[in-house]
Structure 1
Amino acid sequence: MRGITTNLTIGERVAWYRRRREISQEVLAGLVGRTVDWLSKAENNRIELDRLSVIKSLADALDVTLGDLLAEPTLLEWTPDSGTRTVPALRSALMNYRQLTPLLGVTTEGEPTSLDELSNNVAEVWDAYQDSRYGFATRRLPLLLADALIAAQAYQGQQREQAHKLMAMTYQGAAMVLTKLGETDLAWIAADRGLAAAQQSGDTVVTGSLFRSVAHCLLSNGRFDAAVQLVGDAGEYLRPGLSDATPEFLSIYGTLFLAGSMASARADDRATTRTFLDEVERAAHRLGTDANHVWTAFGPTNVAIHRVTTAAELGDMQVAVNLGPRIDTAGLPTERRTRHNLEVARALSAYNRMDDALAKVLEAESWAPEQVRSHYLARELVLTWVRGQRGQPSRNLADLADRLHVV
């Protein structure tokens, strides 16, 4: 459906799919436990659909994916960073049948890259992800996946374990980038392959890191309860390692529960959200400072960011408005700073502080144009603001809407 409903708000997409399903407002409202008046206002942009738990209930009732209502995936723009072969090339790499089974006796041709060079290349992709340079990462990943596969097949002993570790982190990098682009099905394939490679590496930190990616993939597909269960199970698997945890382990453990807090908030489960955030606080306290071990950006500031985001997901916008603007994210990677700005903009917009919200989105765009362009929240906010203008939108808003391709 990419392109058909791009210039519609989420409420307008609900109306579009409802008519496609040939069901009335009365029927749909009943299926999601709402009034006809509420649904009518949502479809006509008089109520903002800003909570994913509510949007997911509408998607389920309409028998469409969460991505259908969010207008995802988005088209990755061609840039000097990306070149002209982007997601389709990465899809081809992930669907390489040689990665599925050793039963056919097929080995990948080519000399293995040295593990040091492979490690540097993996770090380059992860750094690009945290810099919100998704086009660059997408262009680099197909070749990197091929190199990682050759290395995992060619090396033996401890070098083979290291190769599997690097292959796992490559798949995780692909999963994280694809999730940002809304390519949730491809992200699931990458996370699943990465978890299998992590288990071959024998490295608990890497395995924990891949658990986090699987949780994010479940979140992006709207499977909030499953993500909560996964985090609980993975936490139990990792918990014995807390007794002598390294900073890397604490960071992986903490970010796993950050993902869990988002899942439970989107599942409208306040108690579990509090439990997970308490667990995260303990890990952050032990770590003692903001850090970026294994590209987690974990520490007290990221915990504070998630307190804002989970409050917004639970409908507590006042908490998000009070807390969000006070958090200093200057020391965090671009991806984290940008995501927080969008969250604060959502909260400010809910309180009709559109000028302040627009300033937050514009600031985020100045840091990470690719991330802002690909995030449903930015597109939805801007489109809703344009729709709500009585006259011509301001030049800043109109230009932003044009850059995000929402009008």
Structure 2
Amino acid sequence: MRGMTNTLTIGERIAWYRRRRGMSQEVLAGLVERTVDWLSKVENDRIPLDRLSVIKTVAEALDVSLGDLLAEPSLVDWTPDSGHQTVPALRDALLDYRRIALFDRGGPAVEAPPVEQLTRDVADLWEAYQASRFGYVTARLPWLLARAHATAEQRPDQPACQQLLALSYQLAAVQLTKLGEAELAWIAADRGLVAAQHSDDLAVTGSLARSVVHALLSVGKYAEAVRLTGDTADLLRPDLATPTPEITSVYGTLFLAGAMAAARAEDRATTRTFLAEADTVAGQLGRDANHLWTAFGPTNVDIHRVATAGELGDIQVAIDLGPRVDTTALPMERRARHALEVARAYSLWNRLDDALTTLLDAERLAPEQVRYHYLGRQLTLTWLRRSRGKPSTALLALARRLHVQT
């Protein structure tokens, strides 16, 4: 299905899979405990369906993945940054059996760079990710993983090498999550967590556990993600007695990921608890920072207040707070992701001009991020369907750039 349903909204995709299953609207509506009228309006784009908790419920009833209804993963474009080798090359690197512990010394000969050089390589790609240069990062991750493995195998007694290997896998996990490659992201996060545990660095271990939380989120395992948040917090909490900026940032960011999981599980109490804990930790840190590429601080907490409000359907909260959050000091990835949430809130509030302007601003900041996030594509398709008469030139041009024009 990759790329074949980019011109369908989520509602249209639900109708497509329902008919594929030979299921009537009455049957599907009953399975998700909704009315036939509601389902009919969803399938005909008269009700926007953008809350992942609801989409997940429908996906389970249709026996499809969450990604199937979100049209994920999407095809990664060839660009001067990416070249002509993207996700398939990264998949090959992750699925190389020689990377399994039993065979981890049987891979092809790869130059093992000095730790100092590998540190610079890891930092370069993390910075590119935070700049939303997704094609650049995806194309270079197989090379980075091979070099990180070679260095870790050559210097097994140096914890720093395992730390760098773990952070390389974490980068693969977060990048693949952005591209909708949920299963591959899970493999990368799992491999990274194993390396992190060998590094004896609790901050890196906590950071990798957070990536596992995100991997669980991407496949709709919200309750499991909430539990992992709590378990990891228990592991990190003793170190908060004498915290480093890294452990503080990882601990706080963990609760932001957990808050998203709780919101998608429609657990308001846990969402509030996790956000409050993150807010307290951000206050202790005292400012926005980027330790271990967390972009953690008070502003990221506010970003997640808006995002969780959107997931819970509290659009008034998202509208009131979202446009007032000043994200200019944060990495581009965070700024663009917040703009997507604000555009969603404006759209649900029927302020379509503001929604389109916000999405276009986000695209100017981070075109690849808007292109690969389901919200960017689905908002654009929804606006096309709701246009009375010919859509605006700006909307049509955006749809062409996102490859969703019908």
| Cα gap change, 1:24 to 1:362, in 2 (>3 Å) | same
Could you give the per-residue CA deviations for residues 41-67 of structure 1, whole angstroms, max 9, x where no partner exists? 000000000100000000000000000
Matches within 5 A, 1:267-286: 267-286=265-284
Could you give the per-residue CA deviations for residues 210-263 of structure 1, whole angstroms, max 9, x where no partner exists? 011000000011111110111011111111111111111110001111000000
Give the C-alpha shift of residue 3 in structure 1: 2.4
Q: Distance in 2 between matches of 1:287 and 1:39?
A: 46
8 Å contact from structure 1 (residues 107, 153) kept in 2: no
Q: Distance in 1 between matches of 2:168 and 2:52?
A: 29
Q: Distance in 2 between matches of 1:301 and 1:400?
A: 29
Which residue in the other structure is 2:344 paired with?
A: 346
Which residue in the other structure is 1:177 paired with?
A: 175
Could you give the per-residue CA deviations for residues 352-380 of structure 1, whole angstroms, max 9, x where no partner exists? 10000000000000010000000000100
Which residue in the other structure is 2:393 paired with?
A: 395
Q: Does 1:163 align with 2:161?
A: yes
Q: 1:364 aligns with which of 333, 345, 362?
A: 362
5+ residue gaps, structure 1: none
8 Å contact from structure 2 (residues 97, 103) kept in 1: no
Give the C-alpha shift of residue 109 in structure 1: 2.0
Amino acid of the residue matched to residue 299 of structure 1?
G
Q: Does 1:71 align with 2:85?
A: no
Matches within 5 A, 1:242-321: 242-321=240-319
| Cα gap change, 1:271 to 1:87, in 2 (>3 Å) | same
* SS of residue paired to 1:140: helix
| Cα gap change, 1:3 to 1:154, in 2 (>3 Å) | same
Which residue in the other structure is 1:32 paired with?
A: 32
Give the C-alpha shift of residue 278 in structure 1: 1.0
Give the C-alpha shift of residue 155 in structure 1: 0.7
Give the C-alpha shift of residue 6 in structure 1: 1.4
8 Å contact from structure 2 (residues 73, 180) kept in 1: yes
Which residue in the other structure is 1:14 paired with?
A: 14
Could you give the per-residue CA deviations for residues 90-120 of structure 1, whole angstroms, max 9, x where no partner exists? 1111111111123586255244210000000
Provide the aligned C-alpha RMSD in A: 1.0
* SS of residue paired to 1:102: helix
Give the C-alpha shift of residue 4 in structure 1: 2.4
5+ residue gaps, structure 2: none
Which residue in the other structure is 2:112 paired with?
A: 112
Deviates more, 1:261-270 or 1:228-237: 228-237
Q: Distance in 1 between matches of 2:3 and 2:332?
A: 28
* SS of residue paired to 2:82: coil
Q: Distance in 2 between matches of 1:154 and 1:101?
A: 15
8 Å contact from structure 2 (residues 2, 74) kept in 1: yes
Which residue in the other structure is 2:2 paired with?
A: 2
| Cα gap change, 1:252 to 1:292, in 2 (>3 Å) | same
8 Å contact from structure 1 (residues 216, 259) kept in 2: yes
Q: Distance in 2 between matches of 1:96 and 1:84?
A: 20
Q: Distance in 2 between matches of 1:87 and 1:109?
A: 23
Moved over 6 A (4+): none
* SS of residue paired to 1:72: coil
- How many residue pairs get matched? 405
8 Å contact from structure 2 (residues 98, 105) kept in 1: no
Could you give the per-residue CA deviations for residues 27-51 of structure 1, whole angstroms, max 9, x where no partner exists? 1111111000000000000000010
Q: Distance in 2 between matches of 1:338 and 1:372?
A: 8
Could you give the per-residue CA deviations for residues 55-82 of structure 1, whole angstroms, max 9, x where no partner exists? 0000000000000000000111111110
Could you give the per-residue CA deviations for residues 295-341 of structure 1, whole angstroms, max 9, x where no partner exists? 01000000001001101100100110011001100000000000000
8 Å contact from structure 1 (residues 108, 149) kept in 2: no
Q: Distance in 2 between matches of 1:238 and 1:50?
A: 34
Amino acid of the residue matched to residue 174 of structure 1?
A
* SS of residue paired to 1:192: helix
Which residue in the other structure is 2:124 paired with?
A: 124
8 Å contact from structure 1 (residues 108, 150) kept in 2: no
TM-score relative to the length of structure 1: 0.98
Q: Distance in 2 between matches of 1:243 and 1:220?
A: 33
Which residue in the other structure is 2:62 paired with?
A: 62
Q: Distance in 2 between matches of 1:8 and 1:379?
A: 10
Amino acid of the residue matched to residue 25 of structure 2?
Q
| Cα gap change, 1:150 to 1:108, in 2 (>3 Å) | farther
Q: Distance in 2 between matches of 1:104 and 1:198?
A: 16
Amino acid of the residue matched to residue 96 of structure 1?
D
8 Å contact from structure 1 (residues 345, 360) kept in 2: yes
* SS of residue paired to 1:46: coil
Q: Distance in 2 between matches of 1:82 and 1:185?
A: 21
Q: Distance in 1 between matches of 2:65 and 2:112?
A: 40
8 Å contact from structure 1 (residues 254, 280) kept in 2: yes
Which residue in the other structure is 1:213 paired with?
A: 211
